Amino acid sequence: MSSFEQMYREESDAVYSYIRMLVRDHPLAEDLTQETFVKAYRSLEHRRGDSAVRTWLIAIARNTTIDYMRRRKPWQYVKLEAGLQVSGSGSNPEERAVASERLEEVEQDIQRLKRPQRECLLLRRVYGFSVKETADVLGWKEGRVKVTLQRAVRQLEEYGYTREEESDHETS
């Protein structure tokens, strides 16, 4: 198996999930994931090794998705179904229903954030990227990532979230 095939096997689910959260459309996310890996394959020989493979691929996925959305329709961002999973194992149906309703509320509130705040929150909190990795994906300086995440957290607090719910670790 080639190194590209191995990279695809290891990272395709993460790339698809990221794109799916952005476009909220399964078939479209599959198409954009495929396009992302085609672009990655074409630029593989030019890849600098200064960032992790996943960071590099998510940056390509982000740019591919943004290009598509600019051509096709207005911004639609962040459905957290892949990142905020409703606990299913061991939960009774009532608990799952309550968790599912809560997830819908969270998704709606995150949709209310400005696009840069949503992107930053998604990368830092759902994907667990470091500040540096998030800055690399977004093409920002690390300070901007920290400030944008703090603003997103403050906005979510205004919507009624507490730091415990939101799990505050924006400085790492």
In this predicted structure, what is the pLDDT of residue 92?
Answer: 67
> Percentage of residues in the chain with pLDDT exceeding 70?
78
- 141 or 172, higher pLDDT: 141
Nearest in space to 144 (alpha carbons), one of 128, 132, 162, 153: 132
Q: Which residues of 53-80 are buried (b: 16+ CB within 10 A; e: fewer)?
A: ebbbbbbbbbebbeebbeeeeeeebbbb
DSSP at 85: P
pLDDT in tens, 89-109: 445 677 767 766 776 777 778
Distance CA 66, CA 18 (A): 12
Q: Which two tokens stand for residue 109?
A: 């509130």
93-166 — its CATH code? 1.10.10.10
Helix residue spans in 24-125 (DSSP H)? 26-43, 53-72, 93-111, 115-121
Q: Give the pTM.
A: 0.61
3-72 — its CATH code? 1.10.1740.10
Q: Is 130's pLDDT higher than 50?
A: yes
**Quick one: how far is CA 78 from the chain centroid?**
7
Asked which of 8-17, 44-53, 57-66, 147-156 is least confident by mean pLDDT, the reply is: 44-53
Distance CA 38, CA 34 (A): 6
Q: Is 147's pLDDT higher than 90?
A: yes
Q: Taking CA 166 as the corner, what is the angle to CA 160 and CA 171, rounded to the nearest 5 degrees?
A: 125
Q: Which two tokens stand for residue 136?
A: 């690399």
Q: Is 77's pLDDT higher than 60?
A: no
Distance CA 150, CA 169 (A): 10
DSSP at 87: P
Q: Taking CA 140 as the corner, what is the angle to CA 136 and CA 142, rounded to the nearest 5 degrees?
A: 80
Asked which of 2-16, 62-76, 111-125, 138-152 is least confident by mean pLDDT, the reply is: 62-76
Nearest in space to 12 (alpha carbons), one of 20, 22, 24: 20
**Ranges of each domain in the chain:** 3-72, 93-166
